[in-house]
Structure 1
Amino acid sequence: MSFALIEACKKRKRWPKFFRFNSFGDPGIPIVPLGTFRDNVRVFLQEAGEPEDYSVSGNPLWCTLLIHDKSNVMAPLYTVEEHVYHSSHPFCDHCRCVGWSGHFVSKRRYHFIIPMDSGWHKPLDEESIDNQRHLLHGVIHCNGYGHLLCVNGIEGGSKVLSGREIMDLWDRVCTNLRVRKVAVEDVSCKRSMDLRLLHGVAYGHSWFGRWGYRFCRGSFGVTEPHYNEAMTTLGSLELDMIAKDLNKTKFNKEIKQMIRCYRDMSETHIISLRDLLRFMLTVKSSRASAPKITVTFSAAAAADSTCSALISRNSTKHTLPTRSNSIKEKSVRYKKFSNAVTSMDSRWPTRRLEFAAQVIVDALKENKAVKPGTGGMARQDVRDAARLHIGDTGLLDYVLKSLNNVIVGNYVVRRMVNPSSRILEYTIHDLGKGYKAPELESEGMAYVDQQVVESSWVPGNDVYCDVLFLYKNVLLGYPDSETVDLAIQTILDSRYFVKEWAERDEVEEQSLTFICSLQPNFVDKKYELKGLPCGEVVVVPLHATVGDLKRASEAALRDTYCIAERLIVTDIKQLMGVSDEEVLFGLIQSGVELCVRGIAIDLCTNLKYQGGSDNWKVRCECGAQDDDGERMVACDICEVWQHTRCCGIDDSETVPPLFVCTGCCDSLVPSRTESSFCADSPDSFLISADPSLLLEYEYGC
């Protein structure tokens, strides 16, 4: 892609434009924004993008080359212009989930994509605009409302760009293009920890809150006051009270030891759980120094190991002690997995094998952190944990079979049968921070003699493991507290956050800005609009007249929404009775919202609302009145949708083919205390009071 672009530019004797990654989007770079997003993005593509000679699903795309300041690596930023008339998904599910289902369908949406490192030299494929495994993927409708779909930094697979660098870039680009609002669904995790819960307790906001994203909408009826109260409740838990409440748990000693450890490390008082987590997330790891290691090469050792070296010349083997029943140390050979995979006859590439091994090691680390001092992890449990990140079970089985007495990173992975349960288990052993395995020299074998048996878990050695321990055993495992459980569930049910950029009305631009909402002149009740959708930003010169504003708003709405393709603006509600020749300046204040009325609005088009043409009725016992993206089930009688969770249907269970809500059940089956001869209303004659007859029709609750 970007490199093919350079070759194409050489043939045309024209070099592409390069920009610095860490300053791209700063004021004036790459453009000086004037007006609205729909205008700025066009200038952006002209000034900073190079058109590609192919399309993605029939949509044109441009490439902007960004040079990373630290590594000098060149990363491509793609912009794909998707036209909804030709799209297989003209409606926006993301708008529906964040409460924007009443917005009009916009004609165009722009995808901003930085693919994974391995795809920087390749063209985007047809599935790119639906792929959420990119380093960055954001989509912005031409009305300025957008969605941040994914950010994947170092832990997400990037070898160059961190998550913060990518978020900084995204924030600068949105500011430079004058985006209006961007929503994000925060499902980010660090290993098995939900960051919206961890950061919510530690900092009072989600991880995206660093860039100004605030609560937008909660699932299951959660409101912003509920969300703020939940964060306050969890963050204000006193550590002494936590230690007291967890006194009867099996981890009470570890909790007290951890609190004491970090209080001793901190120069300020650590009183609450928020104080502790915030300190732990900012402190650097102070792990114990690695045990002394001596590496010796001898002629005898080289001679004895010649055969092994010939068999696996690219592998490096080491010896570490194992503890036998007689506490005698036994010499065991270990090899580096990264070297061993080069000699494997596998249908998977080395990169995939190494990634799968690292995922398995991370799962073992988490298990060890949550259950310190316990045994290994059963093979099936390891496989299930790794499947959360890797869907290829064949790959997992192949790697699990190969993981025995191997070194992955700074850990040794061992496999053995538990003598009591007779189940195959995996364990990991820390080699120590900064340890590097010695490499094989000619035909000599490197032997590592480590006379120190691995010590037990100590707080402060690995801050990440300590945070995970608190997350699992305090936040998720707090004993017998409905208040804590409710607060945690409230935060976990709050996934949608939004950032809003204020409309600018800069004097030096010599312009007036208005927010124009569309409303028909006369409305057939059959096609009545769902309230007033989001208004469109309209910018006119300082000396513009009322007639100029009508023409500008008409052009803006036609350019933006499918429903307004043939719109003719007739009047402006706030300026009724004012002549079209009247100058706006001094007549009406800049920045106000105006109601624009017109005719020829296509009220019958299917491309009307982002939520689609379905008129769902949502009324759940949790208080939800609209689709919030959670799994729902509709009653087969009243056709009202409710959350499956609120109806007692677990997420792992399938929705029953026939479902009747509680309200309909109560109306169908009379109360037992009612007299069978009593008929207070005509409805009493519509159905038999005998419950057995209802069962014949499979009604029940």
Structure 2
Amino acid sequence: MSIPIIKMIGANSSSKKRKMKSAKYYGLQNFLQPGCPISLSGSFRDNVRRFLQECGQPEDYKVEGMPIWCTFLVHENRGFVLPLYTFEECVNNSLQPLCDHCRCSGWSHHFVSKRKYHFIIPIDNEWNKPIKDGVLDLQTHILHGLIHCNGFGHLLCINGIEGGSNFICGREVMDLWDRICTTLHTRKISVVDVSKKRKMDLRLLYGISYGHTWFGRWDYKFCHGSFGVTKEKYEQALQILSTLELNNIIQDLKNCSIKKTISRYRDLSETQLATIRDLFRFMISLKFRTPQIKDSKPKPRLTSINKSTMKEKQARCRKFSNLAAKLDSRWHVRRLEHVAKVVVDALKEKKSENRNGMSRQEVRDTARQHIGDTGLIDYVLKSMNNVIVGGYVVRRAVNSTTGVLEYSLQDTLENITQEPEETDRVDSVIPKYKSGSGSDVYRDLTFLYYHLLLNSDSDVVVFAVRTVLDSKNFSKEWPFHDDADEYLRFICKVIPLVTTELNLETGLYKRKNSVGEELVVPLHATVHELKAAAEAAMRDTYCIMENLKVREIVELEGVDDDEVIFGALESGSEISVRGSGVDLLTTSDLNYEGGADNWVVNCKCGARDDDGERMVACDLCEVWQHTRCSGIDDSEVVPPLFMCYKCCDSIGPHMKHDGTGFTDWMMMPVVTNAHSNLFY
């Protein structure tokens, strides 16, 4: 049986065709179902290697020094073939050895893993093209997941039909990602949910409608909130919002349009719609049941687009302001634009000196002099390629001499093909719908979403909505379990380890213990073999364990090395080993994923760790707190000199709010009576 392959944009090279003919193909829906095509019983670090060996085909080139494997997946119903690429990133050779995603997920205390594995499905029109430098920074991938070799990872990007794909929907991509994680024995995956639909935040819409986010279908649950939001506050806020009575809403509202909209859908429903959860859930289900009727008239030619495509091949540029408005970012658009302007100013200064470009690290370091949020800087830099900022074009390319990715500036817009504005194409490519179609349901849903939730007159609803929107970090954990086979499994930790986590009362540092590592040994392994397995696993996984020498197993103290461990240790338990060669007192950039710095976070909202939101450090006590909680608007620049409210109270008079900004006798923006946007 021959497999039809849809020819994608761009011509295939002969080598690519030969490679695809000789490659293995797997059905998309069945790939990595139990036993298909492989069964894995080891830890993630071992399973991923076997997966690449048996299911991946090595590419004959590298990207940024990373080896690449490709796995071809065939959609059983539609017949197209899509590539799943796996990249192995070695942190010793990486430009970004530390993981900002771990830091914002509460995993700063994790030891730095030696390898990261990136699982990427590019956007459709890139399927037949070689992978280029900068692939890890793109936000347009159909799928981008990162997993450290210790089994902890992050889902970074999902784009289905509405995200730009013409062939595969988001649910199918998530099903595939979930099977990858399950089969390879991933331990925990985090995701920052900022997904939207028609400008509605899905974590709010789905939270009210179903009690969980869209990712909750795959068991992703609340991990931690921003601005001090806890799991209890999050669940309480969802409970309050989802149980709002429609009768009370209709009675209290003066807006006749809202009343008519609610009444119309209550009349359409065969069951009683009593609460806002009932209403939203019904409207979402009605949208999926309602057929969308497209206009049969031929589409007019897109004149503005066709004119540009008739020119010579040129790099398309788009205004950064337009791009920023479409990004699902936790930062305000004005903040993204401000960072872009800082980057352009740095490139202009560099260009005036020697007309050379700047490496990513140089741009990052320069921007940090003006912007304290490194996560925000990294996010903007990922998007800055062929973008227009204030009359300048920012380019990103690899320096052919140094091999380093550099940013450069072009100060003229001549011979630049700008991407057409959205208004140039929307009217001619969006299908028209008849009255009562699914499009109308979403229009009404958006109308109710904004008026009943975002613009509510109730303080209780406002605080509850803010609590849900401040909850972006979710995670899924695969519990450690002992299979009924011929192997023994343990979670192994190394002790004693010096810890450095801050005690707010004593001012001393004491970091959480790092996670243990999975061990899999034969049923009749000896104590000596278990020690060797623990030593090999730690050395293979963590940079700091490179010279580890295991001396003893705490639970088997006094037992001879030749003794069999079966019966002495229970499979599936946690064990501790002592050894030498690990020095946590020596400052190293490759000790912890959160870096060598011991940040102290103590914000009035209750936050005690970095939650990924914008923060500012007090210049006296050096304690970090949120800018939002300190009265600094997202659109405002962090002042060059800042004092927290505690230090300000201790040395000077209280600040006053004058309606235009926060000032005091030292010209430091501090708020003493700012309310907390949380629901209690």
Shared fold, TM over 0.5: yes
Equivalent position amino acid for 2:306 in 1: T
Equivalent position amino acid for 2:488 in 1: L
Mapping 1:207-226, distance limit 5 Å: 207-226=214-233
Equivalent position amino acid for 2:640 in 1: P
Task: Please say which of residues 551-560 and 238-247 is displaced more in the overlay.
Answer: 238-247
Q: In the alignment, which of 530, 537, 547 is matched to residue 549 of structure 1?
A: 530
How far does the alpha carbon of each residue in 1:390-412 deviate from its partner, in whole angstroms, 9 at most, with x for none? Answer: 966899998459859x942356x
| Alpha-carbon distance, 1:132 to partner | 2.2
Task: Please say which of residues 133-142 and 189-198 is displaced more in the overlay.
Answer: 189-198
Q: In the alignment, which of 611, 616, 619 is matched to residue 599 of structure 2?
A: 616
Report what 2:651 is aligned to.
668
| Alpha-carbon distance, 1:550 to partner | 1.3
> Would you say the 8 A contact 2:108–2:593 is kept in 1?
yes
Secondary structure, counterpart of 1:19 in structure 2: strand
Q: In the alignment, which of 588, 602, 605 is matched to residue 569 of structure 2?
A: 588
| Alpha-carbon distance in 2 for matches of 1:272, 1:592 | 46
Report what 1:199 is aligned to.
206
1:518 counterpart = 2:518: no
| Alpha-carbon distance, 1:596 to partner | 1.8
Q: In the alignment, which of 177, 180, 201 is matched to residue 184 of structure 2?
A: 177
> Would you say the 8 A contact 1:513–1:538 is kept in 2?
yes
| Alpha-carbon distance, 1:513 to partner | 0.8
How far does the alpha carbon of each residue in 1:94-141 deviate from its partner, in whole angstroms, 9 at most, with x for none? Answer: 000010000000000100000000100111111012222211000000
1:239 counterpart = 2:246: yes
Equivalent position amino acid for 2:428 in 1: V
1:85 counterpart = 2:61: no
Cα gap change, 1:349/1:71 in structure 2, threshold over 3 Å: closer, same or farther? farther
Equivalent position amino acid for 2:138 in 1: N
> Would you say the 8 A contact 1:20–1:67 is kept in 2?
yes
Equivalent position amino acid for 1:669 in 2: G
| Alpha-carbon distance in 1 for matches of 2:266, 2:648 | 57
> Would you say the 8 A contact 2:150–2:541 is kept in 1?
yes
| Alpha-carbon distance in 2 for matches of 1:233, 1:583 | 57
Report what 2:465 is aligned to.
488
| Alpha-carbon distance, 1:506 to partner | 1.3
| Alpha-carbon distance, 1:517 to partner | 1.3
1:67 counterpart = 2:74: yes
Report what 2:170 is aligned to.
163
| Alpha-carbon distance in 2 for matches of 1:542, 1:403 | 67
Secondary structure, counterpart of 1:646 in structure 2: helix
Mapping 1:591-606, distance limit 5 Å: 591-603=572-584, 604=586, 605-606=588-589
1:478 counterpart = 2:456: yes
Secondary structure, counterpart of 1:408 in structure 2: helix
| Alpha-carbon distance in 1 for matches of 2:509, 2:563 | 32
| Alpha-carbon distance, 1:51 to partner | 0.6
Mapping 1:633-672, distance limit 5 Å: 633-669=616-652
Report what 1:569 is aligned to.
550
1:254 counterpart = 2:248: no
Cα gap change, 1:13/1:253 in structure 2, threshold over 3 Å: closer, same or farther? closer
> Would you say the 8 A contact 2:193–2:472 is kept in 1?
yes
| Alpha-carbon distance, 1:14 to partner | 7.9
Cα gap change, 1:173/1:5 in structure 2, threshold over 3 Å: closer, same or farther? farther
Q: In the alignment, which of 65, 68, 78 is matched to residue 58 of structure 1?
A: 65
| Alpha-carbon distance, 1:623 to partner | 0.5
How far does the alpha carbon of each residue in 1:347-383 deviate from its partner, in whole angstroms, 9 at most, with x for none? Answer: 69999899x9x99xx99xxxxxxxxxxxxxxxxxxxx
Cα gap change, 1:540/1:89 in structure 2, threshold over 3 Å: closer, same or farther? same
Task: Please say which of residues 342-351 and 561-570 is displaced more in the overlay.
Answer: 342-351
TM-score for both structures, normalised by structure 1: 0.73
> Would you say the 8 A contact 2:500–2:510 is kept in 1?
no
Cα gap change, 1:458/1:504 in structure 2, threshold over 3 Å: closer, same or farther? closer
| Alpha-carbon distance in 2 for matches of 1:593, 1:514 | 6
| Alpha-carbon distance, 1:4 to partner | 10
| Alpha-carbon distance in 2 for matches of 1:471, 1:123 | 43
Secondary structure, counterpart of 1:283 in structure 2: helix
Report what 2:481 is aligned to.
504
Secondary structure, counterpart of 1:619 in structure 2: coil
| Alpha-carbon distance in 1 for matches of 2:531, 2:309 | 70
Report what 1:43 is aligned to.
50
Percent identity for Structure 1 against Structure 2: 50
> Would you say the 8 A contact 1:201–1:234 is kept in 2?
yes
Secondary structure, counterpart of 1:620 in structure 2: coil
> Would you say the 8 A contact 1:5–1:52 is kept in 2?
no
Cα gap change, 1:616/1:260 in structure 2, threshold over 3 Å: closer, same or farther? same
| Alpha-carbon distance, 1:643 to partner | 0.2
1:279 counterpart = 2:282: yes
Cα gap change, 1:525/1:274 in structure 2, threshold over 3 Å: closer, same or farther? closer
Secondary structure, counterpart of 2:189 in structure 1: strand
Equivalent position amino acid for 2:61 in 1: Y
| Alpha-carbon distance in 1 for matches of 2:569, 2:173 | 41
Task: Please say which of residues 100-109 and 520-529 is displaced more in the overlay.
Answer: 520-529
| Alpha-carbon distance in 2 for matches of 1:104, 1:598 | 17
Report what 1:464 is aligned to.
442
| Alpha-carbon distance, 1:670 to partner | 6.6
| Alpha-carbon distance, 1:466 to partner | 1.1
Report what 2:137 is aligned to.
130
Cα gap change, 1:596/1:491 in structure 2, threshold over 3 Å: closer, same or farther? same
Question: Any gaps of 5 or more consecutive residues in structure 1?
Answer: 296-315, 317-334, 364-386, 412-430, 434-456, 673-693
Cα gap change, 1:214/1:34 in structure 2, threshold over 3 Å: closer, same or farther? same
Cα gap change, 1:141/1:654 in structure 2, threshold over 3 Å: closer, same or farther? same
| Alpha-carbon distance, 1:336 to partner | 2.3
> Would you say the 8 A contact 2:548–2:580 is kept in 1?
yes
> Would you say the 8 A contact 1:135–1:158 is kept in 2?
yes
1:103 counterpart = 2:110: yes
Report what 1:121 is aligned to.
128
Number of equivalences: 565
| Alpha-carbon distance in 2 for matches of 1:118, 1:169 | 20
1:269 counterpart = 2:272: yes
| Alpha-carbon distance in 2 for matches of 1:353, 1:467 | 34
Output the aligned Cα RMSD: 3.9
Report what 1:539 is aligned to.
520
Report what 1:426 is aligned to.
none
Report what 2:302 is aligned to.
338
Secondary structure, counterpart of 1:132 in structure 2: coil
> Would you say the 8 A contact 1:503–1:591 is kept in 2?
yes
| Alpha-carbon distance in 2 for matches of 1:292, 1:587 | 73
Secondary structure, counterpart of 2:85 in structure 1: strand
| Alpha-carbon distance, 1:284 to partner | 3.5
Equivalent position amino acid for 1:467 in 2: L
> Would you say the 8 A contact 2:292–2:438 is kept in 1?
no
> Would you say the 8 A contact 1:285–1:463 is kept in 2?
no
> Would you say the 8 A contact 2:527–2:561 is kept in 1?
yes
| Alpha-carbon distance in 2 for matches of 1:601, 1:510 | 32
Mapping 1:409-448, distance limit 5 Å: 409-410=429-430, 431-433=432-434
Secondary structure, counterpart of 1:63 in structure 2: strand
> Would you say the 8 A contact 1:234–1:273 is kept in 2?
yes
| Alpha-carbon distance in 2 for matches of 1:565, 1:289 | 59
| Alpha-carbon distance, 1:540 to partner | 1.1
Secondary structure, counterpart of 2:302 in structure 1: helix
Cα gap change, 1:513/1:635 in structure 2, threshold over 3 Å: closer, same or farther? same
